[in-house]
């Protein structure tokens, strides 16, 4: 009888530890909201964040601001659902959600800025090119035109930060309009 209790305790402890590890080392978007290629966890920076979300944020090294100050969206796939990779060129185009200021940053597979000679890891509301209607046009790739350089990024992610977003953005994250990530072509394609 005692052995059964000990085994039950050990199995429970092992299962709990395994689940916590899976959740903490999993993509930050688990439990999140997706909008096209963009995914966010609305509990990041919120008082409602559960202990696992807080552990996930701490493990990733995010210095998450409160939701009213910033909302973080991540894309690991283009608008066609393909993984973002340094072998391809992309263009981020379209309208940004209403916010006081935004930035777009590339991160490599280890969640670090990729090393590149051009030192181009991010664009912002003040540096991005826009068309006549105010939509952004952000080239991403290894050529000289890339506003964000992908050298040494491998499979990468893009993080869109919305600083002081409109209350409407916070109220309905999945109803907002986000820019598309269009693949323009890849190395080795004919």
User: What sign for the dihedral angle of Cα 116, 121, 123, 124?
Assistant: negative
pLDDT of residue 40: 85
pLDDT of residue 99: 96
pLDDT of residue 186: 94
Q: Which residue stretches of the chain have pLDDT < 70?
A: 5, 15-31, 54, 56-63, 190
Cβ-count burial 23-47 (b if 16+ within 10 Å, e if not): bbeeebbebbbebbbbbbbbbbbee
pLDDT of residue 20: 57
Residues 6+ apart with CB under 8 A from 119: 149
* CB-CB contact of 108 with 156 (8 Å): yes
- The pTM assigned to this predicted structure is 0.80
pLDDT of residue 28: 47
Give the other-Cβ count within 10 Å of 171's Cβ. 10
Nearest Cα to 30, choosing from 46, 53, 48, 60? Answer: 53
pLDDT of residue 4: 78
Where do the domains of the chain lie, and which CATH numbers do they carry?
A: 33-48+65-186 (2.60.120.600)
Residue labelled with tokens 């659902």: 81
pLDDT of residue 190: 58
pLDDT of residue 158: 97
Strand partners, 104: 123, 160
pLDDT of residue 57: 66
Helices (H) and strands (E) in the chain, counts: 3, 11
Burial of 106 (0-12, 13-18, 19+ CB in 10 A): buried
pLDDT of residue 21: 55
pLDDT of residue 161: 95
pLDDT of residue 31: 58
pLDDT of residue 152: 94
pLDDT of residue 114: 95
């Amino acid at each position: 009888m005692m052995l059964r209790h000990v085994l039950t305790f050990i199995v429970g402890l092992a299962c709990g530890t395994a689940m916590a590890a899976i959740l903490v080392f999993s993509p930050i978007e688990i439990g999140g909201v997706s909008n096209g290629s963009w995914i966010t966890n609305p509990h990041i920076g919120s008082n409602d964040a559960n202990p696992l979300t807080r552990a996930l944020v701490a493990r990733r090294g995010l210095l998450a601001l409160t939701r009213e100050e910033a909302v973080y969206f991540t894309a690991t796939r283009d608008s066609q659902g393909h993984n973002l990779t340094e072998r391809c060129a992309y263009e981020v185009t379209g309208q940004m959600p209403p916010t006081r200021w935004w930035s777009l940053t590339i991160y490599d597979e280890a969640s670090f800025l990729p090393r590149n000679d051009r030192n181009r890891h991010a664009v912002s509301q003040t540096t991005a090119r826009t068309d006549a209607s105010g939509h952004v046009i952000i080239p991403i790739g290894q050529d000289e035109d890339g506003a964000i350089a992908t050298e040494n990024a491998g499979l990468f992610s893009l993080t869109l930060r919305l600083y002081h977003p409109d209350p409407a953005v916070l109220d309905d994250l999945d109803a907002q309009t986000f820019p598309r990530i269009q693949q323009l072509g890849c190395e080795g394609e004919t």
